[in-house]
A and B are shown apart, each in its own frame.
Chain A
Amino acid sequence: MASFLDTYVAPKKEIPRHTYLAVSFVVTATILAVWCGLSYGGLVREDFLPTPGAVAGAAIAGLGDGSLAVNTAVSVTEIMSGFIIASVFAVPLGILMGSFKVVEAAIEPVTNFVRYLPVSALIPLLILWVGIDITEKIAVIFIGTFFQQLILIADVSRGVSQDLLDVSYTLGATRRDVVARVLIPATMPGVMDTLRVTLGWAWTYLVVAELVAANKGLGYFILNSMRGLFTEQIFLGIMVIGLLGLMTDQLFKALRNWMMPWATSP
């Protein structure tokens, strides 16, 4: 007879689907229940921890006057602009960096240096150089994601099997063929995974990006709510960011499975 431990707590062992869902549900429900208990029960002050109802109220108010939609749209625009510009450069450059030593020698030292700079430390410079309008916000997102993408994609490219390139040469491929028809397709699943992960990181730079001279956006909304101690609005902002992050993540996952049915899932 298998004991409870053998069935449910053996490393890497599958558990029944309904058990999996039940565990997820119970934990999520518990967190919500604790939140309700603490806030409705009056155990914590309301300007510390708002009630779920107050957050819902803030959401309804935000939806009603259109401010939530405007702030979300501004943030999504900033994130997507910064992220797309970063990806457009990082993907090809990263692939080259991982497979051509010349490119690696040229850009790796600089990349490794910039990669460790906290983006917030660059904000004064960015203001000086690009001003305080939306360009500055996009630049923060760009710097925050570009260098990380570059290193991760270079690793993906480095990981492409030498034998895969060699067999292509023995089938008559030229160097150009090998890059276009073998190296690039071989990196695609890894590139998609990198984009998915770094898009998540881009969201985390949002508040930093909207720290200065912003008058719209979810990061601004959170910062501004703090000044008035509108805790329920802070919660709302955080939740919207979380939900948008979750949605884009799922979207990327679906996109990868749809575009690359041949690849094994991450």
Chain B
Amino acid sequence: MLQHVEGAATAGAKLRIDNVALRFTPKTGTAVTALENISLDVAEQEFSVIVGPSGCGKTSLLRLVAGLIEPTEGAIWLDAKRVTGPGRDRGMVFQSYTLFPWLTVQQNVEFGLKLRGVAAVERQQIARKYLAQVGLDGFEQHYPRQLSGGMMQRVALARALANDPAVLLMDEPFGALDSQTRSLMQELLLNIWQQSNKTVLFITHDVDESILLGDRVYVMTARPGRIKEVVKVELPRPRHVDLLTSEAFMTLKRRIMHSIHEEAVLSFAADEARRG
């Protein structure tokens, strides 16, 4: 079992999001506040999940942490170093399929290593190790177009892990998959996380997924996105998909669903009002 750092909001946070706001002005229309007053700390080896209604800005938050966009206010810190741009210490798995189509599965996994000049033999060993972990040995020489959606996301996960990031960012990685594949992927991710000790920040709109995976679930409000509630998930690990029917799980689920439902209603009402 992993030893989890208690009380994440301490000075020893691995990843700290400090009072971040994100505003932008679309080409047509008035300024939009996508995110406001976001502060959260992710402890070393913690699995944090952000759950919220669609359009609440959760993907923007993850892109801020990745350094792909800049916050309007506030700052993001990783290991007490301020985030100023993207870097390999924050690996990311996207919802869309982002494998390089011209590279084989193995070359995809080696991509980050090759950029850093890791020798070919070592690259190959690392790639094979992670491909085995995601259950894709034997597929090294395949091209992405020969794979299913679930397999592509497993390669994307292996590619992120092979690069050994300090934090793994996951933006609804299983959102495009069918429900059977999704639950298999959740099991797989739980297994891998149990072995790898990675610090993870995971985004989803699926409440079941957030509880099943997370140590801590952050519920976001409708736009402008703020953290509405933090729910600590103290379900024993290692976890399995059958947890979904347990009483303890249901209790947490009721609480989070209720919280999200309120926000969904608010955002729906706001949309209606805007459209008159």
Binding site for B on A (CB under 8 A): 161, 163-164, 166-173, 177, 181-182, 185-186, 188, 260-264
Contact = CB atoms under 8 A, between A and B. Distances in A.
B170 to A, nearest CB: 11
B159 interface: yes
A172 B88 contact: yes
9 contacts: A169-B68, A169-B87, A170-B90, A171-B112, A171-B159, A177-B115, A185-B100, A186-B100, A263-B145
Interface stretch (B11-19, B24-32, B91-99, B200-208): B91-99
Given A172-B115, A261-B143, A263-B102, A167 B87 contact: no
B102 A171 contact: no
Contact of A188 (B63, B102, B115): B102
Contact of B115 (A161, A167, A173): A173
Contacts of B143: 261-262
Contact of A161 (B90, B98, B144, B165): B98
A161 B98 CA distance: 8
A167 B92 contact: yes
A182 B112 contact: no
Nearest to B159: A171
A154 B90 CA distance: 31
A51 to B, nearest CB: 50
B58 to A, nearest CB: 16
A163 B103 CA distance: 16
A169 B86 contact: yes
Contacts of A182: 100
Interface of B: 63, 66-68, 85-88, 90-92, 94, 96, 98, 100-103, 111-112, 115-116, 143-145, 156, 159-160, 163, 165, 169
A240 B159 CA distance: 52
A205 B165 CA distance: 55
A225 to B, nearest CB: 48
Q: Which of A161, A164, A263 has the most CB of B within 10 A?
A: A164
A181 B102 CA distance: 10
Nearest to A182: B100
- A-B residue pairs, 3 tightest by C-beta: A172-B88, A169-B86, A171-B112
Contacts of B86: 166, 169-170
Contacts of A169: 66-68, 85-87
A185 B108 CA distance: 13
Contact of A166 (B87, B94, B102, B156): B94
A172 B96 contact: no
Contacts of B85: 169
A172 B102 contact: no
Which interface residue of A169, A173, A186, A264 has the most chain B CB atoms within 10 A? A169
Nearest to A171: B112
A169 to B, nearest CB: 4
B159 A262 contact: no
A264 B144 CA distance: 11
Contacts of A261: 143
B101 A262 contact: yes
Interface of A is mostly: helix
Given A169-B66, A173-B115, A188-B102, 10 more contacts: A164-B98, A164-B100, A171-B88, A171-B91, A171-B160, A171-B163, A172-B88, A172-B112, A186-B100, A262-B101
Contacts of A170: 66, 68, 86-88, 90-92, 160, 165, 169
A166 to B, nearest CB: 5
A169 B163 CA distance: 12
Nearest to A167: B98
Contacts of B98: 161, 163-164, 166-167
Contacts of B116: 172
A172 to B, nearest CB: 3
Contact of A167 (B67, B94, B144): B94
B66 A264 contact: no
A166 B69 CA distance: 10
Nearest to A263: B101
Nearest to B91: A170
A181 B100 CA distance: 10
Nearest to A166: B68
Nearest to B156: A167
Nearest to B89: A172
Contacts of A260: 102
A185 B102 contact: yes
B115 A262 contact: no
Nearest to B165: A170
Contacts of B91: 170-171
A166 B144 CA distance: 18
A163 B94 contact: yes
A168 B160 CA distance: 10
Contacts of B160: 170-171
A163 B68 CA distance: 10
Nearest to B112: A171
A36 B68 CA distance: 67
